[in-house]
């Protein structure tokens, strides 16, 4: 099955290309960005050797739907989707922080808590919490945006402001938008029988100074979901929660001795594991959107993308 590992297009009026962990972003004449979602899989800020069939399409289509479903409360960068793996949007200057918001004590927060820490990104966490307990109120725990594939790092609100990474005026807007998006995402998830546990948002500023949501939103790569049914019972019994997110990949890697640290070797993923991961991504797509996932043709997938994007740009 053809998957998208990397692209090397030369679109009309293309000025540059940026290759991230999962997405590749083409600058068209300093006016719009063409964002292509590959099938690469990253965990612990490391790109894993094998790609996941349909992952890029899934991420792109969930993000597009969620952008459309939140555009009434937060403006976003999106202009068009000429292909299943492509989003085209306004050129923005991204803020160098990721706005992470957590409704539950899970994932990174739980790992830090288990290590004895009670303050995360300057935010206090109460004593006596169990993994996957709900916080009294969602907490914002930002991280610095890494360059060149380095690890993102936790940072406090105070450091962001004191170091001038974001102005206070802009940061207040980022916080407001983050809480509004998380509330809407929580409501959408609840309508699908899910709990939005935590997520991250990225923002940028357009040429005319408008702050907008960019990149992805409420996807399994950027978010963690639990099934609502049985959540309380599993918590009371101290059982693991049934979840839909990329966390199952991280847990599998941890169980096989890999957390992205120096000297650790990435465990081999056989075909069965690759298909399992692909099916889990499809499951989340159908759960969170309430729609049947329709697989795009993967025959000559790069030619398909190039044709669709070029026709849009020339149109």
- List, for residues 74-110, the tens digit of each pLDDT value: 999 999 999 999 999 999 999 999 999 999 999 999 9
Distance between CA atoms of residues 221 and 199, nearest Å:
9
Mean pLDDT of 139-161: 84
| 3 state DSSP class of 35 | strand
- The predicted pLDDT at position 192 comes to 94
Mean pLDDT of the chain: 94
In contact, 212 and 244? CB cutoff 8 Å: no
* 106-115 contacts at long range (C-beta below 8 A, 24 or more positions apart): 106/131, 106/132, 106/197, 106/198, 106/224, 106/241, 106/247, 107/197, 107/198, 107/224, 107/247, 109/141, 109/198
Give whole-number Cα distances, 25 to 7, 67, 143, 215, 239, in Å.
10, 18, 21, 10, 41
Mean pLDDT of 258-277: 92
**What is the tens place of the pLDDT at every residue in 272-287?**
999 999 998 898 899 9
Q: Please, which pLDDT band fits residue 152 given cuts at 50, 70 and 90?
A: confident
- The predicted pLDDT at position 150 comes to 55
**What is the tens place of the pLDDT at every residue in 23-75?**
999 999 999 999 999 999 998 888 999 999 999 999 999 999 999 999 999 99
Which residues 6+ apart lie within 8 Å of 12 measured at CB?
Answer: 28, 310, 313, 314
Decide if pLDDT at 147 tops 70. no
Decide if pLDDT at 1 tops 90. no
Q: Please, which pLDDT band fits residue 251 given cuts at 50, 70 and 90?
A: confident
Q: What are phi and psi of 134, to 5 degrees?
A: -80, 135
Mean pLDDT of 163-181: 98
In contact, 231 and 135? CB cutoff 8 Å: no
> What are the residue boundaries of the structural domains of the chain, listed by start?
94-245
Decide if pLDDT at 247 tops 80. no
Decide if pLDDT at 151 tops 80. no
Which residues 6+ apart lie within 8 Å of 202 measured at CB?
Answer: 94, 95, 98, 99, 145, 213, 214, 215, 216
- The predicted pLDDT at position 250 comes to 86
In contact, 225 and 243? CB cutoff 8 Å: yes
In contact, 203 and 98? CB cutoff 8 Å: no
For residue 29, the tally of other CB atoms under 10 A from its CB is 12
Q: Please, which pLDDT band fits residue 126 given cuts at 50, 70 and 90?
A: very high
Mean pLDDT of 228-254: 90
Question: DSSP strand E in 141-277: where?
Answer: 143-144, 153-154, 194-206, 211-214, 223-227, 243-245
Distance between CA atoms of residues 203 and 101, nearest Å:
14
Write down the architecture of domain 94-245 according to CATH: 2-Layer Sandwich (3.30)
- The predicted pLDDT at position 85 comes to 98
Percent above pLDDT 90 for the chain: 86
Question: Model pTM?
Answer: 0.89
In contact, 298 and 52? CB cutoff 8 Å: no
Percent above pLDDT 70 for the chain: 97
In contact, 220 and 281? CB cutoff 8 Å: yes
In contact, 304 and 7? CB cutoff 8 Å: no
Using alpha carbons, select from 115, 108, 111 the residue that is nearest to residue 142. Answer: 108
Decide if pLDDT at 185 tops 80. yes
- The predicted pLDDT at position 315 comes to 87
């Amino acid at each position: 099955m053809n998957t998208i590992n990397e692209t090397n297009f030369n679109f009309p009026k293309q000025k540059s290309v940026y290759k991230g962990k999962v997405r590749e972003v083409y600058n068209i004449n300093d006016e719009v960005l063409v964002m292509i979602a590959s099938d690469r899989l990253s965990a612990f800020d490391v790109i894993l050797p094998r790609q996941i069939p349909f992952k890029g399409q899934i991420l792109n289509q969930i993000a597009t739907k969620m952008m459309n479903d939140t555009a009434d409360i937060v403006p976003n960068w999106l202009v068009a989707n000429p292909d299943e793996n492509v989003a085209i949007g306004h050129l923005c200057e991204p803020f160098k922080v990721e706005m992470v918001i957590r409704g539950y004590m899970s994932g990174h927060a739980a790992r830090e808590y288990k290590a004895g820490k009670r303050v995360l990104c300057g935010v206090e966490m109460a004593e006596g919490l169990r993994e996957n307990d709900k916080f009294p109120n969602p907490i914002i725990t930002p991280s610095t945006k890494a360059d060149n594939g380095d690890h993102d790092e936790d940072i406090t609100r105070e450091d962001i402001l004191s170091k001038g990474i974001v102005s206070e005026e802009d940061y207040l807007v980022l916080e407001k938008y983050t809480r509004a998006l998380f509330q809407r995402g929580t409501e959408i998830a609840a309508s699908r029988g899910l709990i939005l546990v935590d997520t991250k948002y990225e923002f940028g500023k357009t040429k005319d100074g408008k702050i907008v949501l960019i990149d992805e939103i409420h996807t399994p790569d950027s978010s963690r979901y639990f099934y609502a049914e049985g959540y309380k019972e599993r918590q009371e019994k101290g059982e693991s929660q049934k979840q839909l997110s990329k966390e199952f990949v991280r847990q599998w890697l941890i169980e096989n001795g890999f957390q992205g640290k120096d000297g650790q070797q990435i465990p081999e993923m056989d075909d069965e594991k690759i298909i399992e991961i692909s099916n889990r991504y499809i499951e989340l797509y159908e759960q969170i959107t309430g729609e049947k996932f329709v697989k795009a043709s993967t025959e000559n997938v790069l030619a398909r993308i190039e044709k669709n994007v070029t026709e849009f740009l020339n149109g």
